[in-house]
Amino acid sequence: MKICLINPRLPLSLWDFSYSRDIDGNVFPFPTLSLATLAALTPGEHEVVICDENLKPVDFYTDADIVGITGYHIQKERVYQLAGLFRSKGKTVAIGGPLVQKSNLGECAEHADIVFLGEAEYTWPSFIHDFQSGNAQPVYVQDGFVDLTASPAPRFELLKLSAYSTAIIETSRGCPHSCEFCEIPIRLGKRPRNKSVEQVMTEIRSLYALGTDSIFIIDDNFFGNRKRALELLSEIERFVKSIDYRVYFSCQFTIDISRDEEILILMNKANFRRVFVGIETPRKLSLTMARKNQNTNVDLPDAVRRIQSNNIIVWGAFIVGFDGDDTNIFNEQLRFIQAASIPVAMVGILQAIPGTPLYERIRKEGRLIDDEAGGIRGAANSLIRTNITPLNMSLKELAEGYGYLVRNLYSYNNFAERLINAVKLGKKHGVKGRTKISKKGILTLLRLLNYYVFSTDLRRIYMFMRIIAQTLLHNPQHVQTVLMHLVVYKHLKLFYEQGTSIH
């Protein structure tokens, strides 16, 4: 039996880095881990192919017996389109992923032959068995949470890893916090569940053997279990040292980890170079109202400095539109992000995602608008869209303030200031590994120089020269990191400028 697993095309988004692909040569930022895991869960006698529509067009004439389609809310329209096209050709179509929730189970079922709700480690093998027996059910629901020690290593060899900016792995699921706007504790549980250290190291070694030099750990909170995380970091440190630090890592954690110097030191030794942190807002009232309690008792600027002083660059997630926000929040956010020297600030407008406590509260208060959007930005020109009526400002003020904030964040001068200061915070001689530039890296460097140095925009040229000069002067070991940020900057500047120009 042949199974075709599809990751649908993603619309233009903050995370697709489409505006910088012409520089770095990557087709897409990262592969889909869920489909590689499904492939590993499929009995070996069956043929599995993975198609990422972000890399190449879907083959609608496949001879597959089953077509499985995963997706997030932002991909819903394309998921349904693909499902309809394959069903019209007589294919059995299964839909799963975060798109499928209890609230829209019926809608998803209208577009597919089989629908999966929840994690798939147990339900997917059951479905394969049922399908072969001619007894496939229309809906497979995972009751409770799966034991991740039973989750197989994803079949990374089925992914075209060279086309992505970074490989990804998952070491745990779940988050112990209760942020009102977040779906993770509901979808994946409040008690972190972990793969064994041996499982994770097997996956890391496999990726390295396949030529990977960058791995992003996608756990929503890598340090949900501190003891286990320390054990894993120690193993990663031993591994990267044995390969002369040819692989580096990035991950996500909560800002309160900044107090744990032992963790930060070990992360540096294990060659972690970036971390994505949900800071959300410097305004404590908004944090409290959103139940982001882990951020309320932390000196946020100092926390960022502590992390970056260990040569780990902080990328921050920020939100405007909380019930505690008013029109002053935009300048407040701008001042904070500049003062904290966070080079990459991913800023969004608060959305009420179906299934979250925030969604239910806003619905009961009669403040839910554009319910069909599902709390997710759906198109390239809807960056300033929200499905919540704000409390302390008008929608127009929210949109205008948001545009003001992101355009100022990514002005040449402000970005340069943040990146330079972040590099200055790092310890000299703290970046591990020897410099080795691949053919792909050389081409990226040439394209980067062409974009910044041979530009007719004198401000762009000056920013580039200023950043490079300051890096070489203060912390030359960060040159590679700085060049990567300059690639990313092109996307962020264009994305925010174009996304906020439509009102």
- d(CA 152, CA 154) in angstroms, rounded, equals 6
pLDDT digits (tens, 9 = 90+) for 449-475: 999 999 999 999 999 999 999 999 998
Residue 12 has pLDDT above 70, yes or no: yes
Q: What is the pLDDT of residue 340?
A: 97
Q: What is the pLDDT of residue 385?
A: 82
Q: Are strands 193-194 and 172-173 parallel, antiparallel or unpaired?
A: antiparallel
Q: What is the pLDDT of residue 224?
A: 87
Q: How far is CA 69 from CA 31, 98, 304, in A?
A: 14, 11, 39
Which residue shows structure tokens 């394309």? Answer: 78
Q: How many CA atoms does the CB half-sphere of 190 hold within 13 Å?
A: 5
Residue 436 has pLDDT above 70, yes or no: no
Length of the chain: 503
2-141 topology per CATH: Rossmann fold (3.40.50)
pLDDT band at 26 (very low <50, low <70, confident <90, very high): confident
Q: What percent of the chain clears pLDDT 90, i.e. is strictly above it?
A: 84
In this prediction, residues 70-77 reach a mean pLDDT of: 93
DSSP of 172-241, one letter per residue? EE--S---TT--HHHHH-SS-EE--HHHHHHHHHHHHHTT--EEEE--S-TTSSHHHHHHHHHHHHHHHH
Q: What is the pLDDT of residue 477?
A: 87
Helical H runs in 248-309? 261-269, 284-289, 300-308
pLDDT digits (tens, 9 = 90+) for 356-410: 999 999 999 999 986 554 433 433 334 678 999 999 999 999 999 999 999 999 9
Hey, what amino acid is at 464? Answer: F
Q: Is 503 exposed, middle or buried (0-12, 13-18, 19+ CB in 10 A)?
A: exposed
8 Å CB contact between 172 and 192 = yes
In the three-class reduction of DSSP (H, G, I as helix; E, B as strand; rest coil), residue 42 is classed as: coil
Which residue shows structure tokens 């031993």? Answer: 238
Instruction: Report domain extents, the chain.
Output: 2-141, 166-425
Q: Which helix (H) or strand (E) holds 41?
A: helix 33-41
Of 123, 135, 62, give the one whose Cα is nearest residue 96: 123
Structure tokens at 116: 């999966």
pTM for this model (two decimals): 0.93
Q: Tally Cβ neighbours within 10 Å of residue 435.
A: 9
Structure tokens at 245: 């630090």
**Fold matches, 2-141 and 166-425:** no
Superfamily of domain 166-425: tm_1862 like domain (3.80.30.20)
8 Å CB contact between 337 and 418 = yes
pLDDT digits (tens, 9 = 90+) for 86-138: 999 999 999 999 999 998 999 999 999 999 999 999 999 999 999 999 999 99
- d(CA 112, CA 93) in angstroms, rounded, equals 5
Q: What is the pLDDT of residue 378?
A: 35
Phi/psi of residue 60, nearest 5 degrees: -80, -5
Q: How far is CA 188 from CA 106, 184, 222, 230, 285, in A?
A: 21, 5, 14, 22, 27
Q: What is the pLDDT of residue 14?
A: 84
In the three-class reduction of DSSP (H, G, I as helix; E, B as strand; rest coil), residue 294 is classed as: helix
Burial 131-168 (b: 16+ CB within 10 A, else e): beeeebeeebeeeebbebeebebbbbebbebeebbbbb
Residue 141 has pLDDT above 60, yes or no: yes
Helical H runs in 341-438? 357-364, 395-409, 412-425
Of 297, 272, 275, give the one whose Cα is nearest residue 284: 297
Hey, what amino acid is at 262? Answer: E
User: 321: alpha, beta or left, given left = phi > 0 and alpha = psi -120 to 50?
Assistant: left
Hey, what amino acid is at 132? Answer: Q
DSSP of 79-110, one letter per residue? HHHHHHHHHHTT-EEEEESTT--GGGHHHHHH
